[in-house]
Chain A
């Protein structure tokens, strides 16, 4: 099973195939080039010209280097950290050297070869330092997110109300009581599992259904669930407890405060390389719940950012009567 320890944002040697990492590299190197141009020139018009000059050499180098890194990502990950970083810098130097010789053969460049190579090594070194620092900064955040997730996952209110409901079933309908306790224990097993382990989408859906079944026990016909599942990759590994806290929020803010209850709609569909998940609940009249607490949402946003960097999106669409959370996850490359 894939583990959270391979999350791109927490790797000192990042996932070069991740969109967010590529974006940071492109912005970082171009920022360095702009800075270099600024240092070399006296006026702002000269600066933009100088920057364009530099870019004509920097961009091809950057694209070749990045493609090589993306290609060799898994190979680099297998090396020890320092060796991997050295390889990344060596690749940068080699690309710069080759490009320099190629440009020199057309007399397009008059600087020394060693200068190009040194600049490439410096730029790649700075980027590696940035990624290493970033991974260190995010690791405590991950530990905290883990703790927060553990604490926020299952509301004590839900636990004790469920136990109370089960107790009242024991004499009258013992079989339902047994089923409810089984679901409850599955839910707690999921909550106590190592949060770093990924789970399959199918497991997460099953857990969500069990959770809603427990809520239905308490709330009776006030809670209606509408699952709209299209054909999706059920084996897709996703961070655990992504669905359940959002369903819990939907029940807590959308159904419990409404005397007549309402419908929770969960829909999933796959569009190309993306999995779209939507969870919608009504907003009951008493507006004090509409704002709600966004702990669960913030928590999931953070965990998705740790795992997918910029490639996952979380949005909320709020109208007067309806609250909808939309999550988009990349799937192809993550379905091993």
Chain B
């Protein structure tokens, strides 16, 4: 594939000099591996925007970046219809590097060497690291959950910033995330969301997680309601969320905490 057309590459790193370095090295190895640098981005969010404008074959992504890091970027990219290959770059992330080695995910150690870069580009991985693996590494590297959730809408990838989500509600097949403005359909499981964002969201019901910051208060259900033992009131939106008998005590404790 190297002789047919140049590989389209997106450079993602928050340090301008680190991107310069990659650009220089790609120039050095152009004879063996012709590339076309389609853009640069300083974090995962910018990278997703850039990819929306211009598709790429390979994304060279730093692991640690402010806003959205490289691991989370890769997780979102994995949901694209034609996801680009991701090669991680890192100065020093022991945990991530060990996990990559175990799972045959390609990465480059900074300072990057031209020969290593060439080798990585010549065997651009066909399969993508699975999302559970990325989620685990991401949690370990950044010490918390993702900053954004992604969903598809009419072929577009939409990003929902996690701090804007008021609650998650599970229906038969989908999980909906509610922000002040609108709802999003997510392809996630509630259990997984609960464990990933344990410090931000609280379980109210078998099918409901609420943001602690969105909770305004509780009221007891009138009579013997089968669906809800009580109701949670929210800031910013008029809906009430059902609270199960099982979660009643811990939910109320969560509001006061």
Using a CB–CB cutoff of 8 Å, the interface residues on chain A facing chain B are: 155-157, 159-161, 163-165, 167-169, 171-172, 217-220, 256-259, 284-286, 288-289
Contacts and interface: CB of A to CB of B under 8 A. Distances in A.
A293 to B, nearest CB: 9
| Interface SS of A by simple majority | helix
Given A160-B110, A218-B18, 5 more contacts: A160-B92, A161-B15, A164-B15, A172-B20, A219-B15
Contacts of A217: 17
Contacts of A218: 15, 17-18
12 contacts: A159-B91, A161-B15, A164-B21, A164-B112, A168-B17, A218-B17, A219-B15, A220-B15, A220-B16, A259-B42, A288-B143, A288-B144
Contact of A156 (B43, B64, B91, B111): B91
Given A164-B18, A167-B21, A168-B24, A288 B142 contact: yes
B65 to A, nearest CB: 8
A284 B66 contact: yes
B105 interface: no
Contacts of B143: 288-289
A167 B111 contact: yes
Given A156-B91, A160-B111, A161-B15, A168 B147 contact: no
Contacts of B110: 160-161, 163-164
A294 to B, nearest CB: 14
A164 B17 contact: yes
A160 B109 contact: yes
Contacts of A163: 110-111
Chain B facing A: main interface SS: loop
Interface in B1-53: 14-18, 20-21, 24, 42-43
Nearest to A218: B15
Interface string B55-98: 00000000010110000000000000000000000011100000
A185 to B, nearest CB: 17
Interface of B: 14-18, 20-21, 24, 42-43, 64, 66-67, 91-93, 109-112, 142-144, 147, 163
Contacts of A284: 66
Task: Give the 5 A-B residue pairs with the shortest CB-CB distance, closest first.
Answer: A168-B21, A160-B91, A288-B144, A165-B17, A164-B110
Contacts of B144: 286, 288
A105 to B, nearest CB: 69
Nearest to B18: A164
Contacts of A172: 20
Nearest to A291: B143
Nearest to A217: B17
A157 B14 CA distance: 14
B62 to A, nearest CB: 9
Q: Which of B17, B143, B163 has the largest count of A CB atoms less than 10 A from its CB? A: B17
Nearest to B68: A259
B43 A259 contact: yes
A159 B111 CA distance: 10
Contacts of A161: 15, 18, 91, 110
A246 B20 CA distance: 29
Given A157-B92, A160-B92, A168 B43 contact: no
Contacts of A167: 21, 111
Nearest to A258: B66
B15 A165 contact: yes
A286 B147 contact: yes
Nearest to A285: B163
A168 B28 CA distance: 13
Given A160-B109, A220-B16, A259 B91 contact: no
B124 to A, nearest CB: 22
A219 B66 CA distance: 11
Contacts of B15: 161, 164-165, 218-220
Contacts of A285: 163
In this complex, the member of A167, A218, A289 whose beta carbon has the largest number of chain B beta carbons within 10 angstroms is: A167
Contacts of B66: 256-259, 284, 286
B137 to A, nearest CB: 15
